[in-house]
Amino acid sequence: MRKRFAIILLFFVLASCAYAETIVLRTGARVKGEIVFQNEEVVIVRDPSGARSQYPRAEIAGIEADAPAVTENQPAQAEPEMPVKKVSILLELAGGAGIQPKDTLGGAFSVDFLVGSHHIRNRHIFAGAGVGYHGLFLGGAKYNFLPLQVAVRMPFMEQKHAPMFGVAVGYGIALSRDYVGGIYTGIDLGYRCQLNPNTALALTAFVQFQQARITATEWVPVSGTPDQQVAFTNTTGRNLLATGLKLSLYF
């Protein structure tokens, strides 16, 4: 009888030593158990009864180690997680078609450099501001702008691979005296891959809108004297569009 009691007591002692972690949920609940599997998206915990529970990373506030534990599925000392950067950089390269509605079709390219945060409310949401260089080739004309902008890039779900949505708004500064810039807006829709807590890649389809005012000089012959011409300067508003594909790197 004493031998059986000693075996049972030893079993519970070993069990209590093996389950050396406490999962703290964002709701305030605490789950004690052994982590049998974990990655960037999910943590699987086995409690002392042997039952397994799965918790998304987004619902976990922290993991507390009560004591060193050695199991078959977990090393004695887990590697520390990569610290989350407070400031992130977003670099975007894009190319596609340039459009002047009801008039001209051509090409477009853009480069954007933004600085901001890639972690807002414990999600991989980027919000920041920056500058870019946008070029449009419409017919025989070339329009270059320097957009000053604020932008938000947000995944639809907190997973390693997830669809995403982005929006930007600002002012495009014209880089030529022949035209004047105006309001700039951009919309992105595509797919993002989270490589690690601080780095991600995204491929999106984009639409960009740029206001501009074009100044053109036209020479008109004088009535009755074809050899003489008079110059007329005309300033008109233009809406310039660009659409295509964009590659983004968050780091």
- pLDDT tens by residue, 138-156: 888 889 999 999 999 999 9
**Statement to judge: residues 28 and 101 lie in one domain:** no
In this predicted model, what pLDDT tens digit does every residue of 56-75 receive, in sequence order? 887 887 887 765 544 444 44
Same structural domain, 21 and 125: no
Quick one: pLDDT at residue 222? 64
**DSSP codes of every residue in the chain:** -HHHHHHHHHHHHHHHHH--EEEEETTS-EEEEEEEEE-SSEEEEE-TTS-EEEEEGGGEEEEEE-S----SSS-SSPPPPPPPPSSEEEEEEEEEEEEETTTEEEEEEEEEEEEEES-BTTB--EEEEEEEEEEEEETTEEEEEEEEEEEEEEESSSSSEEEEEEEEEEEEEESSTTEE-EEEEEEEEEEEEEEETTEEEEEEEEEEEEEEEEEEEEEEEETTEEEEEEEEEEEEEEEEEEEEEEEEEE-
What local confidence, expressed as pLDDT, does residue 17 receive?
43
pLDDT of residue 95: 95
Residue 39 is predicted with a pLDDT of 79
> pLDDT, tens digit, for every residue of 5-33?
444 444 444 444 444 678 888 787 888 88
Pair 111, 225 in one domain: yes
Total tally of structural domains belonging to the chain: 2
pLDDT of residue 218: 63
**Does one domain contain both 229 and 138?**
yes
Cβ neighbors of 85 (< 8 A, separation 6 or more) are 118, 119, 198
Residue 201's pLDDT is 95
| 171 and 99 in a common domain | yes
The predicted model scores a pTM of 0.61
* Full domain range(s) for residue 136: 88-250
- The mean-pLDDT minimum among 38-42, 92-96, 243-247 falls in 38-42
Q: Is residue 206 part of a domain?
A: yes
Residues 92, 61 share a domain: no
72: in domain? no
pLDDT of residue 163: 96
- The reply to whether 186 and 231 lie within a common domain is yes
Q: Is the same domain home to 168 and 228?
A: yes
The answer to whether position 127 is within a domain reads yes
Domain termination site, one of 50, 65, 80: 65
Determine the pLDDT at residue 81: 53
Same domain? 155 vs 234: yes
Q: How confident is the model at residue 126 (pLDDT cuts 50, 70, 90)?
A: very high
Judgement on whether residues 121 and 56 belong to the same structural domain of the protein:
no
The enclosing domain of 180 has a CATH number of 2.40.160.20
Would you say residue 166 lies in a domain? Answer: yes
In SS3 terms, 3-56 reads as HHHHHHHHHHHHHHHHCCEEEEECCCCEEEEEEEEECCCEEEEECCCCCEEEEE
Claim to verify: residue 100 and residue 57 sit in the same structural domain: no
Is 70 within the bounds of a domain?
no
Asked whether residue 199 is domain-assigned, the answer is: yes
Is 81 inside a domain boundary? no
Q: What is the mean pLDDT of the chain?
A: 81
Q: What is the pLDDT of residues 101-125, one digit of tens each?
A: 777 789 999 999 999 988 887 788 9
Q: Do residues 139 and 240 share a domain? A: yes
In the predicted structure, residue 232 carries a pLDDT above the cut 80: no
92 vs 78 pLDDT, higher one: 92
Vertex 240: Cα angle to 239 and 244 (nearest 5): 140
pLDDT digits (tens, 9 = 90+) for 170-206: 999 999 888 889 999 999 999 999 998 889 999 999 9
The answer to whether position 73 is within a domain reads no
pLDDT at residue 226, as a whole number: 61
Last residue of a domain, one of 34, 65, 96: 65
For residue 6, give the CATH number of its domain. Answer: 2.30.30.100
What residues contact 20, with CB distance under 8 A and at least 6 apart? 34, 65, 66, 67, 68, 69
